[in-house]
Amino acid sequence: MAVPKKKTSKSKRNQRRAHDAIRRVNVIIDKDSGEYRLPHHMDRSSGMYKDNQVVEYKIDDSE
């Protein structure tokens, strides 16, 4: 079994853990629909991204 030769200092331990923090998700309100979305993502309700229609939604009236 591997055993460390020297004790890891508090500074080195904390530097290693610096990237383990849970970061807050940046959510914005879409200017057209008013719904929440992630930045640099399309609006799922309208299919718009940067004032361009990216996805066309079909309405299924067969039921």
Q: What pLDDT sits at residue 3?
A: 96
Structure tokens at 18: 């610096």
Q: Rounded to whole angstroms, how far apart are CA atoms 45 and 30?
A: 10
pLDDT attached to residue 40: 94
pLDDT at 37: 93
Bridge pairing between strands 48-49 and 52-53 = antiparallel
Q: Which residues of the chain have pLDDT under 50?
A: none
Global confidence as pTM = 0.56
